[in-house]
Structures are given as structure tokens and as C-alpha cells.
Amino acid sequence: VRGIQDQGVIANAKHFIENNQETHRMSVSADVDERTRFEIYYPPFQAAIEAGVGSFMCSYNKINGHYACENNQTLSIDLRNTMGFKGWVMSDWFATHSVYSSAINGLDQEMPIGFHFSELLKLEV
């Protein structure tokens, strides 16, 4: 993280979170309890935050039935409030599934284009 950002480039920690498989990765739900997330999945991401990482990329999969890029528990509550992340969250390529839910639950940037985060977002606000 520091090596990248020392060169004037913002480092990106990905894929947040529970992106465990390629098969059906666009639709699978990784059903994981809070303790397991904090003990097994979050430590490498917490280390990235402590190193000053500037951005995160949310993954394609669902987490406990909610897409990772519109998951309030993992993006807003865990990542930002509990873990202290101060940067921005971008979607993986075409991993944004909604306008309103993504925006209010912690996604800051839709990649690679603004399909949902475009005129549609303006209509929702």
C-alpha cells in the first residue's frame, strides 16, 4: 500500500468481501456470521486500512443475501464505522446492481461506466 501510494497512485484493496469462488460469483451468496468475518476475512483488509489504503473494491458476490456493493453491514457499518476506513469504495466491473441501494449503503463509484450512477442516480436523490 505505502509503496504504491508513495508513487502518487491510490492503492486499492480488493475484493471486499467473501469473494471465495469463481463459479457463480455473480450470484452466489456467501453466508458468513459476524465473528467469522472479523476473525478470518477482515484482518488483511484491516491491515490495508492501517497502512493508509485509499480505496476499496467491492466484489460481485452476495453476502448473506445482499450484493457486496450494496451491503450496508459490510460497507458502512463494518468497513467504515468499525474498521475506520476513510477512503472511497468502487464496484468491481459491472458489480453494481441498483441505483438507490448501492448509493445509500456505501458504494461511492460504479465501474467501469456510470450505468446506475448516472442520470438514474440524479432521479433517485
pLDDT tens-digit readout, 77-103: 999 999 999 999 999 999 999 988 999
pLDDT at site 115: 81
What average pLDDT is seen over the chain?
93
| Cβ partners under 8 Å of residue 109, min gap 6 | 88, 89, 90, 91, 117
- pLDDT, greater one: 124 or 110: 110
pLDDT at site 26: 84
Query: What's the pTM?
Result: 0.90
* Marked catalytic residue, from 6, 31, 78, 92: 92
| Cβ partners under 8 Å of residue 107, min gap 6 | 58, 69, 70, 75, 89, 90, 91, 96, 117
- The size of the chain, in residues, is 125
% pLDDT > 70, the chain: 99
Phi, psi (deg, nearest 5) at residue 114: -95, 75
Active site residue 33: no
